[in-house]
Structure 1
Amino acid sequence: MAKATKVINRISISDEERRRIELEDIERTLLENKEVIKETFEVMKGMQDRGILSMVNSLLKEGDKVLNILVNTADTPETANTLKNLLLILGTLGTLNVQQLEPLILKINSGIARVAEADKTPEKPSYLALLRSLNDQEVKQAMTFLMTFIKGMGGDTSDLERTTQLPENQHLHKTNETAEIERPTSRKSYGSSIPSKSGSDKKRKNSWFWIAAGVSLVTIPLTLSKSRK
């Protein structure tokens, strides 16, 4: 039987041979990624032409000074408020419904176009023409649109608002809200025997609203005629 080999002689590679293998490996990598390398050099050339590389080089040379300036600038109340407001604005933009906002923008653009055309006409509107315009379908739709918009603005949206208060103030705010909710309802029992005036108050408010609307419609032509004179 043959004896087991106990001595392993490793083949030593010379420095020249190792260098040749590494160069072949680099050459193979460059050939496989020549398009990537070409586009990278084009990007670097464009940055060099516009002075971006020189600016980055200068920033790296003055790295400690630049870092100190950035830290000092960031450590100010103004910067903290700016970042907080920016986050709130981004969050508010995320709540906008673009599909519902598009018809509103189109209506506003249409109204602006009508106003621009009306400024070009030298004719003075009469009182009768203004009163007749109230019977126009488009005017009715616009008034309904404005009233619906005002009604929506008067709705309670406190539960949807983003808070900017400190944590301790938020806790106090929530405590006050729960205390108001958990108040005893004894006042309601006493007030049940008193007749409610909410219906009459609403009627009075509506009547005053229509009176103010009529007065404003009458005064608008007067102000327009005076301003043109």
Structure 2
Amino acid sequence: MAKAIRQINKQIPNPMEEQAQAIGEILKALADNKEGILSALAILKNLREIGILDALHAIMENRTDVGVIAMQQINQPGMHNTIKNAIYLFNFMGTLKPEQLQAIMGGVTKGLDRMGESIKNQEQHSLWKLGKSMRDPEIKAAMTTMVEFLHGMGESFTQHPSQELH
């Protein structure tokens, strides 16, 4: 038969051994993630050189005062509208298909380029030339697009009269 255990000797780790083990674990983690840590250190170095770390440190030291100022600014009546408008803008951007936005922005860019060239060259168009330009397929496409845009906007206003602009 086995002998009964009457005394348990609990080993208390030596603080020096614990510290050595912790340092070993840290060194192993550093070695395993060498590239990421070196990249993070390079980023921190650049942030320090341009003064962002000093600014963040100052903000953290004065976080109570900074928080009070931030809350005062957020509680301004105009800021409420700004925040709401930003939310509506992000929601709107989420409803657009990327192809639609690309086509719209491409058209705006080309239109602004043409407008800039016209202003730069100081071109003056007579009423006759403006009337003739209505036959141009590009002008027709733009006018059709704008008219359909206006139809859609008007349709939205008639469906939701409370949101109509005054």
The question of a shared fold, defined as TM-score above 0.5 by the shorter chain, is answered with yes
* Per-residue deviation, residues 187-208 of structure 1 (Å, max 9, x unmatched): xxxxxxxxxxxxxxxxxxxxxx
Deviation larger for 72-81 or 99-108: 99-108
Q: Is the 8 A contact 2:59 2:66 kept in 1?
A: yes
Query: C-alpha distance in 1, partners of 2:134/2:81?
Result: 51
Q: Deviations for 1:140-167, whole angstroms, at most 9, x for unmatched residues?
A: x734752563255144123479959xxx
Q: 1:38 to 1:6 in 2, by over 3 A?
A: same
- What is aligned with 2:81? 81
Q: Which ranges in structure 1 are unaligned for 5 or more consecutive residues?
A: 165-229
In the other structure, the counterpart of 2:52 is: 52
In 1: Cα distance, 2:72 partner to 2:155 partner:
42
Contact 1:88 1:162 in 2 (8 A): no
Amino acid in the other structure paired with 1:38: L
Is contact 2:48-2:54 (8 Å) kept? yes
> Which of the pair has more CA radius of gyration?
1
Please show how residues 1-229 of structure 1 align to structure 2 within 5 Å. Answer: 1-97=1-97, 99-100=99-100, 102=103, 105-106=106-107, 109=110, 113=114, 116=117, 133=132, 138=136, 142-143=139-140, 146=143, 149-150=146-147, 152-154=149-151, 155-158=154-157, 159=159, 163=163
AA partner of residue 157 (structure 1): S
Q: Offset at 1:56? A: 0.8
Q: Which stretch of structure 1 is more off in the superposition, 91-100 or 21-30? A: 91-100
Cα deviations by residue, 1:174-220 (Å, 9 ceiling, x for unpaired): xxxxxxxxxxxxxxxxxxxxxxxxxxxxxxxxxxxxxxxxxxxxxxx
Partner Cα separation in structure 1 for residue 94 and residue 162 of structure 2: 12
Q: Is the 8 A contact 1:47 1:53 kept in 2?
A: yes
Q: What amino acid maps onto 1:90 in structure 2? A: F
Q: Secondary structure at the match of 1:9?
A: coil
What is the letter of the counterpart of residue 62 of structure 1? N
Whole-Å separation in 1 of the counterparts to 2:117 and 2:70: 49
Structure 1's 94 and 6: CA in aligned 2 closer, same or farther, altered over 3 A?
A: same
Q: Which has the higher contact order (CA 8 A, sep 6+)?
A: 1
Q: What is the alpha-carbon distance in structure 2 between the residues aligned to residue 88 and residue 60 of structure 1?
A: 32
Q: Percent identity at matched positions?
A: 21
CA distance in 1, matches of 2:47, 2:105: 43
| Amino acid aligned to 1:109 | K
Any idea what SS the aligned residue of 1:156 has? helix
Q: How many angstroms apart in 2 are the aligned matches of 1:111 and 1:23?
A: 62
1:8-39 deviations in Å (ceiling 9; x for gaps): 22334433333333332232222222322222
Partner of 1:196: none
Tell me the TM-score normalized by structure 2.
0.66
Mark the CA change 1:163 to 1:36 in structure 2 (over 3 Å): closer, same or farther: same
* TM-score w.r.t. length of structure 1: 0.51
Instruction: Give the counterpart letter for 1:156 in structure 2.
Output: E
Deviation at 1:43?
1.2
